Structure 1
Amino acid sequence: MSKPEYPSVATVLRNPDHLFAFGFGSGLLRPASGTFGTVAAIPIFWLIQDLSVPIYSLWLIVTFALGVYWCDRSSKALGVHDHGGIVWDEMVGYWLTMFLAPAGWLWMLLGFVLFRIFDVIKPWPINWLDRRVHGGFGIMIDDVLAAVYAWIILQTVAYFI
C-alpha cells in the first residue's frame, strides 16, 4: 500500500480547511508530521496558558469542534482518512494535555513528551477508536483520549512535586 501524497505548500496555504488541519503548514514537515504539529502548538499554548479556567475550557471545546470540521473537510478533499499531514488533532491534544499544568518550560516539555508517547503508542481504547471511528470526529477523538492519559500523568506528577 502506497503512502498518500502530501499536498503542496501552496495548496495548504490557499485552502483554509487544509491550512488549519495541517497546523498552519507544520503538518507538511516530514518525517513525524504529528511531532511537528505538536511543536507548532507550543507557541500558541504559551499565548493562552494564562487564560482563566472557563475561557481555556471554552478554547478547548471550540478548537475541538473546529478541528472536527476542518479535519473532516481536509481529509475528504485529499481522499485520505487521517492523512499524516493533518495535525490539528495533535495541537488540540497538546493544549488539552497542558490544561491546568504548572507554569514553566519543564512542564511544557513534559506535557509534550507525555502526549507524544500516548499519541504514538495508542493504548486501549485509543487504538480501538483510531481503527473504528472515522471522519473528522475520528481524527480528533483518539488524540483527545491520548491527551487525557497524558494529562492524568502530568497532573499526578505535579501533585507530588
Structure 2
Amino acid sequence: MNHQRLHIIIASALGIGYIPKGSGTFGAILACLGVIGLNALFPTNALGYQAVLVGLTIIFLFIGRKASEVTEQIWGEDSSKIVIDEVVGQWLSLCLIPFSWTNLVLGLVLFRIYDIFKPFNIRSFEKYENGWGVMLDDVAAGIWANLTLQVILLLFNFYV
C-alpha cells in the first residue's frame, strides 16, 4: 500500500469521512465505539483504561496531523472527508472521565457542540499549517468538552 493511500485511510477514519452528511459526527461516534471497546478490554482496571485512552489520543494526534497534511493537498483545506480530528477530539473529551454510558453520551454531545459552534476562540487554531490547524481546533473542542463534563460531574456528583 502506498503512503498516500494510508494517509487517506487514516484521515478519513477508515472511510467514515466519505459519508456525505455528518461525517464529523460519525467520526466522533467511531471514537466512542473505540472507547466502548477499551472499556470492554479493561472492565475492572480504570487506570489501564485511562492510560491506553490517553496514549491513543496522543499517538493519533501526531498520526492525524501528518495524514491531514497529506490529504489537504489532495482534498483541499480542512476537507469534511478528514475526520481523524474528530476521533482525537472525542477521545480527548473522555480522557480522565470514568466510563459510563451517561458520560459517553454527554461527552459526545458536548464535544460536537464545541466542535460545531467553536466558542472560546476555538476557530483561531485553524490558522496553523501542516495539518496542525485541522487537528488543533478539535483538540481545543475536546479540552473544552472535557472540562465542561468534569464540572458537570463535580457539581452534580454524577460519577456513574
- TM-score over 0.5 (shorter chain): yes
Please give the TM-score of this superposition, normalised by the length of structure 2: 0.84
Contact 1:81 1:135 in 2 (8 A): no
Aligned-residue sequence identity (percent) comes to: 30
For residues 59 and 148 of structure 1, the distance between their equivalents in structure 2, rounded to whole angstroms, comes to 16
Matches within 5 A, 1:7-22: 15-22=5-12
Give 3-state SS (helix, strand or coil) of 1:23's partner.
coil
Match of 1:58 in 2: 55
- Once the 2 structures are TM-superposed, how far is the Cα of residue 56 of structure 1 from its aligned partner? 3.1
Q: 1:82 aligns with which of 78, 85, 96?
A: 78
- Once the 2 structures are TM-superposed, how far is the Cα of residue 16 of structure 1 from its aligned partner? 1.2
For residues 115 and 47 of structure 1, the distance between their equivalents in structure 2, rounded to whole angstroms, comes to 19
Matches within 5 A, 1:31-110: 31-49=21-39, 50=42, 51-78=48-75, 80-110=76-106
Residue 140 in structure 1 maps to residue 130 in structure 2? no
Which digits, 9 at most, give the CA deviation of each residue in 1:90-148, with x for residues without a partner? 00000000001122111111000000000000113211222x22331110000000101
Match of 1:10 in 2: none
Please tell me the root mean square deviation across aligned C-alpha atoms, in Å.
1.6
For residues 70 and 80 of structure 2, the distance between their equivalents in structure 1, rounded to whole angstroms, comes to 15
Give 3-state SS (helix, strand or coil) of 2:21's partner.
coil
Match of 1:122 in 2: 118
Contact 1:21 1:74 in 2 (8 A): yes
- Once the 2 structures are TM-superposed, how far is the Cα of residue 55 of structure 1 from its aligned partner? 3.7
Give 3-state SS (helix, strand or coil) of 1:24's partner.
coil
* Aligned residue pairs, count: 146
> What letter corresponds to residue 120 of structure 1 in structure 2?
I
Give 3-state SS (helix, strand or coil) of 1:81's partner.
coil
The structure-2 alpha-carbon separation of the partners of 1:42 and 1:52, relative to structure 1 and needing over 3 Å to count, comes to closer
Which digits, 9 at most, give the CA deviation of each residue in 1:30-82, with x for residues without a partner? 2121111111111111123443544433222111011101111111122x011
Contact 2:24 2:83 in 1 (8 A): yes
- Once the 2 structures are TM-superposed, how far is the Cα of residue 152 of structure 1 from its aligned partner? 0.3
Give 3-state SS (helix, strand or coil) of 2:131's partner.
helix
Q: 1:150 aligns with which of 128, 139, 145?
A: 145
For residues 105 and 51 of structure 2, the distance between their equivalents in structure 1, rounded to whole angstroms, comes to 24
Please give the TM-score of this superposition, normalised by the length of structure 1: 0.84
Gaps of 5+ in 1: 1-13
